Structure 1
Amino acid sequence: MSQFSEEQWDAFVRDHPLASFFHRSAWRHVASDVFGHPAHYLTEQRNGNITAVLPLMEIRSRLFGHALISTAFCVGGGPLATDTGSFEAILDRAETLGRKLRVDYIELRDLPSATRGWTARDNLYAGFERPIAPAEDDNLKQIPRKQRAVVRKALAQGLTVSIETSTQAFYGLYARTMRDHGTPALPRRYFERVLSAFGSDCEILTVSSGGRPLSSVLSYFFRDRVMPYYTGSRPEARGCGANDLMYWAVMRRAVERGCEAFDFGRSKVGTGPYDFKRNWGFEPRPITHQYRLLNSKALPNLNPTNQRYAALIGAWRRLPLGVANGLSPLLSRSLG
């Protein structure tokens, strides 16, 4: 982070209009402490003041290559700058670092444009967000009729909503869901570290029936918005509307905390989560990633829609949950 302190970095992020939760300095400790990935937090300065920042995590994997990612394990976090010159300068610094480290590529997430030499990809992910109506009735009316009926049915069934301080219930549901999707789960200590790093800006909300957790979500809060980020549920949660009630409850909780926007996060185009968010009345926003290819000739394609991984995903789904949970930490550290 050059000669600037984390407090100065976070002050710059706090004041920048395009900043996100994923620009905060604490992310460098989360990935480094849990996985051992080196953090490279670059800054540009003018007259002793920060004019640009770029958080980069270095991921080295025998399976997936060697990369600098802004920000790994997050959906955003590209460069922030006060002017065009600083923006271009920090990208040049990133490229210089990438060549020094001999990475295959540099990836900047959710960045509409970059300078010459960078390659954009905007056909893989979409984001979903919209304002939250403060009044409960108005908020319900924002939800399309079919999904609104599911929420009301769930409310009538007596499902309970709680704010959790422990990751136990959440993690059990999250790990099960990840196994069912054919993807290795992040280790529980990752979520413990996230909670300790960001405190009240993270929150776990769980929907239960008769004391038995059915669905749970870990959300991030930043400025005027809430982002439900990691979720998990039992197979029966869908039938009783627990998942829909969960998101409705997050909206109401966000209003209590003074939030005005609901950021449903990104989903891969053409997947179930993508369709689910559209069914909730959210319109997709194409998300652009920028890549600087250094020692690689092709753009990375590390996602479940890649047919190259179809057999592995199918095999992972068939693993007993205990086996999947045991193997997940070995693989998920490379899926930044």
Structure 2
Amino acid sequence: MHEASLAPVPAQSSTAIAVRSLQGHEHARWDAFVDTCPEATFFHRAGWQTIMEQGFQHDSYFLYAEQEGCIAGVLPLAHLRSRLFGSSLVSLPFCVYGGGAGGGAAVRQALDSAALALARRLGVGHLEYRWREVPENMDASWLQKPLYATFRRPLSPDAEQNLLAIPRKQRAVVRKAIAAGLHSAIDYDIDRFYPIYAASVHRLGTPVFARRHFALLRTVFGGACEILTVYHGQQPQASVLLFYFRDEVLPYYGGGNVVARSTGANDFMYWEAMRRACARGYRLFDFGRSKLGTGAFDFKKNWGFTPQPLPYAYQLVRAKVLPLVNPLNPKYALFIRAWRRLPLPLANLLGPHIVRQLG
């Protein structure tokens, strides 16, 4: 955690706004605000400061605006430094949502001004906000590029209604998996999850996170982070790490083994995440983001979810053009093909050193 040396900012009202850096003893205070802020997401929680610093060794700058002694808005940021991809200040790396949450125009302006001043002081290429929705009266100086969409849908209190809400063809896959005897269980460690997930992303040509990343997520977020594994008999076939926030469930890291596609284990896994969440009183299923034009994007549409474009926004600082660090960039195609050919143990060893630079 790094003090941002921030001073009070004059407000557009009679109440002064002070922008401050989150300190370790203030996590509960920060989270109390996030829990009741309509714009906030799971990725605005203070625990991500620990993930950024202890898990990835990235400097964090979790800023909050204070008015009359109360938090009025929050903006979590982390400094991503990469020899391969340059330097950026992001809200928030490794997270699908971010940007400022809470406050009116004056609070947002105070946080944005502080973030931009910090970005200039750090000498980054760009400042990035991963907004889920465009704020009102967004400053025209922010640049945007369409790349991702998210998929969110309310859950019915009745499990059968949720099953019927899945389009017929996709629902048939789920019913077939149920008839084949697939079942799920909550795991209390990462021993079954990690090998399945690591092998799954390796087949996609993507570097894997370190095992300790998932262990740290479990430690930091406790009961708000859970692992669901799908079995056929005693054989695990698919596994997913879930986040819970207010009345939402977010399947975040998931994968299946080589037989999961033929058995429908991946499909059954997401159905079980829905069914279990519904039974526990959760009312919204967040299927997460996917890149436009990808198989994952089409998969989520096939579940009857409507894509909602994510309005990620950027301010250029030292960079001249927006970065294009994603697997759809043709210059990374050779790397992806080569990565798939690496022996899995070697990919698991090297992957964490690369993925921490991607964000």
TM bracket, shorter-chain basis: over 0.9
* Aligned with 1:55 (options 45, 65, 76): 76
Q: Find the counterpart in structure 1 of residue 17 from structure 2.
A: none
8 Å Cα contact 2:156/2:283 also seen in 1: yes
Per mean C-alpha deviation after superposition, the further-off stretch among 3-12 and 37-46 is 3-12
Q: Find the counterpart in structure 2 of residue 31 from structure 1.
A: 52
Letter in 1 for 2:111: I
* Aligned with 1:280 (options 293, 300, 303): 303
Deviation at 1:3, TM superposition (A): 6.6
Letter in 2 for 1:185: V
1:179-328 correspondence to structure 2 within 5 Å: 179-328=202-351
Question: Does residue 43 in structure 1 map to residue 55 in structure 2?
Answer: no
Q: Gaps spanning 5+ residues in structure 1: where? A: none
CA distance in 1, matches of 2:222, 2:64: 26
Q: Gaps spanning 5+ residues in structure 2: where? A: 1-19
How high is the sequence identity, in percent, across the aligned residues?
47
Per mean C-alpha deviation after superposition, the further-off stretch among 322-331 and 111-120 is 111-120
CA distance in 2, matches of 1:158, 1:202: 26
* 1:59-116 CA-partner distances (Å, limit 9, x unpaired): 1000011111101110012101311001011000000001111111111002524324
Letter in 2 for 1:131: P
Deviation at 1:2, TM superposition (A): 3.0
CA distance in 2, matches of 1:51, 1:263: 26
Question: Does residue 115 in structure 1 map to residue 139 in structure 2?
Answer: yes
Q: Find the counterpart in structure 1 of residue 188 from structure 2.
A: 165
Deviation at 1:301, TM superposition (A): 1.0
* Aligned with 2:98 (options 52, 77, 82): 77
Give the SS at the match of 2:114.
helix
Letter in 2 for 1:223: R
CA distance in 1, matches of 2:159, 2:71: 42
8 Å Cα contact 1:201/1:220 also seen in 2: yes
CA distance in 2, matches of 1:157, 1:3: 51
* Aligned with 2:169 (options 133, 146, 152): 146
Give the SS at the match of 2:231.
strand
What TM-score does the superposition give when structure 1 sets the normalisation length? 0.97
Letter in 1 for 2:226: E
Question: Does residue 20 in structure 1 map to residue 41 in structure 2?
Answer: yes
Deviation at 1:13, TM superposition (A): 0.8
CA distance in 1, matches of 2:218, 2:314: 30
Residues 2 and 31 (structure 1), Cα distance of their counterparts in 2 relative to 1, 3 Å cut? closer
Question: Does residue 127 in structure 1 map to residue 154 in structure 2?
Answer: no
8 Å Cα contact 1:126/1:269 also seen in 2: yes
What TM-score does the superposition give when structure 2 sets the normalisation length? 0.91
Q: Find the counterpart in structure 1 of residue 21 from structure 2.
A: 2
Aligned residues: 335
CA distance in 2, matches of 1:125, 1:57: 21
